[in-house]
């Protein structure tokens, strides 16, 4: 589920209170260079799978496929092209949330996920610390493999 950081924290606290007799352990994940490493073709394929209107897909494709970046450095300016990543701005969080939406399919029943854009929290609730840590470690390894 895609929620803000505050919403995710509130859901975690609520879930912990509901299961008061159990112990919960939380892992926050930071995806290094999350927005900068998005593969545009993967994102576009995701849009096609969720049946977004073709005009919207084309608009987003034009926004993210090839961008020219101008580096201003006196006395000369340099222009470079980039073929990956998301442009900074309001749409970036939404696009990245869609990009990682399939992570939900990889979640073990022993672990719950809370995410908003590149802020991801995993938590496991079980009275035994070792089981929680093992569940979280396994889930993180699965995510690392799937995200590349």
Over residues 118-133, the pLDDT tens digits come to: 888 888 888 888 998 9
Give yes or no for a contact between 86 and 95, defined as CB atoms under 8 angstroms apart.
Answer: yes
Say what the pLDDT of residue 49 is. 92
Distance of CA 116 to the CA centre of its chain: 7
**Could you say which residues of the chain have pLDDT below 70?**
1-5, 15-22, 74, 148
Rg, Å, the chain Cα set: 19
Residue 60 DSSP SS3: helix
Count the Cβ atoms, other than its own, within 10 Å of residue 43. 19
**148: how many CB neighbours lie within 10 A of its CB?**
6
pTM: 0.72
pLDDT score, position 16: 63
Tokens of 88: 């900074």
């Amino acid at each position: 589920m895609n929620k803000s950081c505050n919403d995710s924290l509130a859901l975690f606290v609520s879930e912990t209170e509901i299961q008061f007799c159990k112990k919960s352990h939380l892992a926050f994940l930071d995806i290094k260079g999350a927005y900068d490493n998005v593969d545009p073709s993967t994102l576009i394929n995701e849009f096609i799978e969720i049946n977004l209107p073709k005009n919207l897909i084309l608009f987003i494709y034009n926004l993210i496929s090839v961008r020219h970046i101008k580096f201003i450095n006196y006395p000369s300016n340099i222009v470079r092209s980039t073929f990956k990543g998301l442009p900074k701005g309001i749409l970036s969080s939404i696009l990245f949330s869609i990009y990682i939406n399939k992570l939900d399919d990889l979640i073990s029943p022993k672990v719950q996920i809370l995410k908003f854009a590149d802020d991801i929290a995993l938590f496991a609730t079980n009275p035994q610390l070792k089981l929680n840590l093992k569940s979280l470690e396994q889930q993180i390894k699965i995510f690392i493999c799937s995200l590349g």
